């Protein structure tokens, strides 16, 4: 089974407190593609202001052989879609 190992690294910055209940908008994008891993940046907005940001590093992984593998072509294609 080949897939990706999520949460190889997570960095979260809490910028400001949010009251409950609140309406939130979440934006995400792939911000970096390496040879075997990629980063996903996310920002949570409340009242049009960011309240939390995060970066998750995800590694492409072969779970049968227990090793990382080259980045999947589908991820590269999605990353380059708008360029």
Residue 30 in tokens: 């792939």
Residue 68 has pLDDT above 60, yes or no: yes
d(CA 69, CA 35): 8
Q: Which residues contact 29 (CB under 8 A, 6 or more apart)?
A: 40, 41
Query: What are the beta bridge partners of residue 33?
Result: 38
Please compute the mean of the pLDDT values over residues 38-67 and round it to a whole number.
Answer: 93
Report the predicted TM-score, pTM, of the whole model to 2 decimal places. Answer: 0.80
Residue 28 is predicted with a pLDDT of 95
pLDDT at residue 2 tops 70: no
């Amino acid at each position: 089974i080949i897939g990706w190992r999520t949460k190889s690294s997570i960095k979260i910055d809490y910028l400001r407190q949010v009251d409950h209940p609140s309406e939130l908008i979440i934006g995400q994008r792939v911000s970096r593609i390496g040879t075997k891993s990629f980063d996903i940046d996310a920002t949570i907005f409340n009242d049009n202001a960011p309240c939390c940001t995060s970066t998750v590093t995800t590694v492409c992984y072969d779970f049968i052989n227990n090793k990382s593998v080259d980045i999947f072509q589908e991820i590269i294609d999605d990353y380059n879609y708008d360029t």
